[in-house]
Amino acid sequence: MIIGIVVGSVWATRKEQRLDGFKLLIVREIKPTGEKTNTYHIAGDLVDAGVNDMVLLTRGSSARQTEDTKEKPIDAIIVGVIDRIDLEV
């Protein structure tokens, strides 16, 4: 998984029907050190995340291993809102 910050959302009226009802958020990838990257992901939201939340992102087929995303054409989901990062080294 990777870490990111929610920075916005994407709206699409015309879309594949299996995506109906999904909130699609824009996540900017960051390093655990806090360093911002220039990589962005569009992810389905499973934990009611909001702008500025630091989140945990799962990608690939693993993004479909939940009740809500099973058999959906989604390749990235937000699986958690991060409370704390302990970076010890």
The mark string for 50-89 relative to a copy of itself (x by CB under 8 A, - otherwise) is: -xx---x-xxxxxxxxx--x-xxxxxxx-xxxxxxxxxxx
Q: With binding defined as CB under 8 A, does residue 32 bind a copy of itself?
A: yes
Radius of gyration in angstroms for the set of CA atoms belonging to the chain, rounded to a whole number:
13
The length of the chain is 89
For 63, other C-beta atoms within 10 Å of its C-beta total 20
Q: With binding defined as CB under 8 A, does residue 9 bind a copy of itself?
A: yes
CA distances to 21, 25, 84 from 12, rounded to whole Å, are: 11, 12, 33
Q: With binding defined as CB under 8 A, does residue 23 bind a copy of itself?
A: no
Q: With binding defined as CB under 8 A, does residue 21 bind a copy of itself?
A: no
Size of the site for a copy of itself (CB under 8 A): 61
